[in-house]
Chains A and B, each alone.
Chain A
Amino acid sequence: MPIDILMPALSPTMEEGTLSKWLKNEGDSVAAGDVIAEIETDKATMEVEAVDEGTIGKIVVPAGTENVKVNAVIAVLLEDGESASDIGAPKKAEAADAPKESADDAGGKARAADEEPEAAASGKVPAAPKTDVASDPDIPEGTEMVPTTVREALRDAMAEEMRANDDVFIMGEEVAEYQGAYKITQGLLAEFGARRVVDTPITEHGFAGVGVGAAMAGLRPIVEFMTFNFAMQAIDQIINSAAKTLYMSGGQMGAPIVFRGPNGAAARVAAQHSQCYAAWYSHIPGLKVVMPYTAADAKGLLKAAIRDPNPVIFLENEILYGQTFDVPKMDDFVLPIGKARVHKQGKDVTMVSFGIGMTYAVKAVEELSALGIDVELIDLRTIRPMDLPTVIESVKKTGRLVTVEEGYPQNSVGTEIATRVQQQAFDYLDAPIITIAGKDVPMPYAANLEKLALPNVAEVVEAVKTVTYRT
């Protein structure tokens, strides 16, 4: 029976890729381990090795095809004694047995990355769902918009600031020669050289301290953590050295430094690699904490963070890196740290979210509008200092509030917002505030449990129905 060769998954977040090149032709024989094709993912070009031996009977997906889904049949391998005429006999593709992402028991939806079926099917990199997004007051009317991935936006922000100021440099693991573990620093080494794009050993506590010291001496370091999970090795230098020096020195010196990197859960990377640090760092006086959702915010806020005289924690997200949003084409697009953005105006309920949490919020808002519930969605963008006035103003209008985030529920960003809103706008509230967060568990690896551990769109919708008494 001919064997189907399937499009392999080559990274935790890969759903599709470009089949860039075939290294074997129809009729060629292959042994297990032979490289048969090259595939481009959003991060890298990877080789595909043959798993079985035989002869390539048919190439199903020609070289150059974009957006080939993981597990699609890309070629058919003939075993000894088979010929091309054996192909096409009805058979079950192995992929049929592959675990299917099923709806979970809680009625929730899949992982954020899995939630873009339409976009994936239409063959586009998942773009931000377009609702009637309120225009950003920080962007001048009529500015040309360029579709840009969050990944590119972050890189552009760093490159622009490095061009403008020789004191700005980036250091971290794999940021230079490897072009970044998640390819955020792609091209920076070539442009700025090894003096300003510095590969470090795996020494988070050490290089965070080196960065803070350099900042105390007046440089403007950008310290990349491969992920924020590893910044826990360095958290003492971040909090005890970076955050407190300005205060302890009576204002003589501070630490103008950016700590940035992917934060929160990716996909199936389990407990030690899947934590959201928004609430953790937002606890600390002396730090600013930024967590953008769109590419425009990523760019404008990272530029602001690099210029900021304080230590800034800049929390990115691996799943958002590949998503495309419009970024204004401006010579120097900088956004204010500490200002929320009304993502969509509405009158019935206020929803506040930030970072990856916005992916659930945006979908919930769409579903709710179909039910006739008009949500005002606020993207917090900065966790500390928190733009509470924007939230309060909205709550005064709607009388209801739901918050959405991926982090743990206890002492979350949402509970902080809820506390302050009930203190400052109690009389305006028509319902108890609901805070949606990740479940109160370490992130499990198993696909079904991971889905349950994360927030889901259904529970956000439910929460809004509850505060509007529509259940």
Chain B
Amino acid sequence: MAPRKSAAAASRKKPAEKSGLNGGITEFDKATELKAYEEMLLIRRFEEKAGQLYGMGFIGGFCHLYIGQEAVVVGMQMALKDGDQVITGYRDHGHMLATGMEARGVMAELTGRRDGYSHGKGGSMHMFSKEKNFYGGHGIVGAQVSLGTGLAFANKYRGNDNVAVAYFGDGAANQGQVYESFNMAALWKLPVIYIVENNRYAMGTSTVRSSAQSNFSLRGNSFGIPGHQVDGMDVRAVHAAAVEAVAHGRAGKGPIILEMLTYRYRGHSMSDPAKYRSKDEVQKMRSEHDPIEQVKARILELKHASEDDLKAIDKKVRDVVADSADFAQNNPEPDVSELYTDIVL
């Protein structure tokens, strides 16, 4: 598959000169486009279903949907290999599905049931999979940045060539421990990729209201950590940047920051009326930059697949999601003995 350069570089700062970090987009071949389409669609449909189950009272507490941001995690994950670790905050369902965790187990955790990934003890914000190298699932804004740096520390310590990917939000980027971590990661050349998922808002606060420097790719400057802004709505751009960032990490060059320019369509959590932004703003992102629609349009234009083929993918995805919802609603609650297990060893 000879990668082709794209003419359009979407909303990137620089025009596409080359592929990867400095603004380029590597075209996907047919198989990759279809894979990206299916994986993003799975996250979208899964999250829509989670929203419905919340409204029906099957899911309680906080539930933060990833709708709109699918390209970020899917594009990143496609550049990782076995043993690379992933860690994120509470907006985590997409990351779990992307790392290959089962929809059933994730949904059953959302409903607080026995066969959820944490046996119902964690819920939406706290799920983990040792098998898939997914390290959670964290509710304290910013905590995952230090933890992710620690995962990278372990890689370096063991002398393997794995990288750790730590995802965090534009709001989280203002926490002090983020900079303490940046310093250590740069000092010790740790193989960590910091992904700032800049979806423009931290709850109701837009980045310009919270951040003296709202170009988050520059936040590692004083530590000598390279950073790049990436069109996080275009899965090809994400992937191209991911490939280079991963190579940087594996080569022992230390940390790197990718600021993904993205957008969340839904409220911060289920109880956010989202009065801090206009409906037009949301509508514009949905209609002009939707990550899934972009892939779909290309697939149809390049005749990688027909409408019917895509419908078949849609159906497959819907079936997986419906099955997970069924499972999650009918799975029993955890046994009461679980209350006292897993506290200390």
Interface of A toward B, CB cutoff 8 Å: 6, 8-12, 14, 32, 41, 43-48, 51, 70-71, 94-95, 97-99, 104-105, 173-174, 177-178, 181, 199, 201-206, 229-230, 232-233, 266-273, 439-442, 444-449, 452-453
Contact = CB atoms under 8 A, between A and B. Distances in A.
B270 A10 contact: yes
Given A71-B56, A205-B176, A267-B60, A447 B140 contact: no
A40 to B, nearest CB: 10
Contacts of A440: 343
B60 A444 contact: no
A319 B340 CA distance: 25
A44 B140 contact: no
Contact of A272 (B58, B109, B113, B126): B126
B202 A202 contact: yes
Given A51-B52, A173-B203, A273-B139, A446 B171 contact: no
Contact of B174 (A97, A202, A448): A202
A181 B171 CA distance: 15
21 contacts: A10-B270, A41-B271, A97-B329, A174-B203, A178-B203, A199-B205, A201-B171, A201-B211, A202-B171, A202-B172, A203-B174, A229-B140, A232-B140, A233-B140, A268-B112, A270-B61, A441-B343, A444-B334, A445-B120, A447-B112, A449-B334
A177 B52 CA distance: 29
A173 B142 CA distance: 15
Contacts of B121: 270-271, 444-446, 449
B338 A445 contact: no
A440 B336 CA distance: 14
A99 to B, nearest CB: 6
Interface residues of B, number: 54
Most buried by B among A8, A201, A233: A201
A185 B120 CA distance: 34
Given A232-B140, A270-B61, A447-B60, 7 more contacts: A44-B273, A174-B203, A177-B205, A268-B112, A446-B119, A446-B338, A448-B336
Contact of B175 (A47, A94, A202, A448): A202
Closest 4 pairs between A and B when the two form their complex, measured CB to CB: A445-B123, A8-B55, A268-B60, A11-B271
Q: By DSSP majority rule, is chain A's interface helix, strand, loop, or mixed?
A: loop
A441 B339 CA distance: 7
Contact of B126 (A51, A99, A201, A270): A270
A270 B116 CA distance: 14
A41 B269 CA distance: 15
Interface string B140-177: 11100000000000000000000000000001101110
Nearest to B206: A177
Contact of A446 (B54, B202, B334): B334
B50 to A, nearest CB: 12
Contacts of A444: 120-121, 334, 338-339
A275 B111 CA distance: 22
A270 B122 contact: yes
Interface string B319-340: 0000000000100011010111
Interface in B113-138: 113, 118-126, 138
Contacts of A452: 336, 339
A272 B125 contact: yes
Given A44-B273, A267-B60, A105 B336 contact: yes
Contacts of A71: 56-57
Given A177-B204, A446-B112, A270 B123 contact: yes
Nearest to A13: B271
